[in-house]
Amino acid sequence: MLCLHDAYYRNDTFLREYFADRGVGFYDVRRPPEKRGTVAEDAARLAEWYASVEGYGGEAPGEGGVRSAVEHLVQKHKERVAEIEGMPQRTLDSVWWPFTQHGLVSFLGESQLTSGEQEGAGHGHRLGARRPL
């Protein structure tokens, strides 16, 4: 969760505890500068703000940066990919598949399943998640 810090409402105080209890990462950054002055002055203030929040930031409330949030998201993504990649083997290890204990069935790889080589008789539906040895 990424939150803009607000010293008046202090939503970050409540939300930090709320999401911590649920195992969700929480990051807050200071608010972007208000628009005032010329367009060039606004652009300069906004560029300075972006530079300040793209790093790790400080420890004080509202001084955080988005780099920690990005690293958290990258790590969570890697964990999800590893979880998904481990699903086929966990399924084979935990689900009983008839006849597999005798070695009569081998499971096809993804390339064989998606290549269309295993056409079923059922109106062109692709069948063949497994084939006899």
Give me the percent of the chain exceeding a pLDDT of 70: 68
Question: Looking at the structure, do residues 127 and 62 belong to the same domain, yes or no?
Answer: no
Range of the domain at 89: 2-95
pTM of the model: 0.58
pLDDT at 123: 54
pLDDT at 41: 95
Question: Looking at the structure, do residues 85 and 32 belong to the same domain, yes or no?
Answer: yes
How many structural domains comprise the chain?
2
What is the C-alpha to C-alpha distance for residues 49 and 62, in angstroms, rounded to an integer?
12
Question: Looking at the structure, do residues 73 and 8 belong to the same domain, yes or no?
Answer: yes
Question: Looking at the structure, do residues 57 and 105 belong to the same domain, yes or no?
Answer: no
Chain segment 27-80, per-residue pLDDT in tens: 888 889 999 999 999 999 999 998 888 877 666 665 667 888 888 899 999 999
Question: Looking at the structure, do residues 81 and 111 belong to the same domain, yes or no?
Answer: no
Question: Looking at the structure, do residues 20 and 42 belong to the same domain, yes or no?
Answer: yes
Report whether pLDDT(112) > 80.
no
Residues 48 and 15 sit within 8 Å (Cβ to Cβ):
no
Question: Looking at the structure, do residues 45 and 110 belong to the same domain, yes or no?
Answer: no
Question: Looking at the structure, do residues 25 and 84 belong to the same domain, yes or no?
Answer: yes
Question: Looking at the structure, do residues 86 and 32 belong to the same domain, yes or no?
Answer: yes
Question: Looking at the structure, do residues 6 and 56 belong to the same domain, yes or no?
Answer: yes
* 19 confidence band (pLDDT: 50, 70, 90): very high
Question: Looking at the structure, do residues 68 and 113 belong to the same domain, yes or no?
Answer: no
Question: Looking at the structure, do residues 91 and 102 belong to the same domain, yes or no?
Answer: no
pLDDT at 80: 96
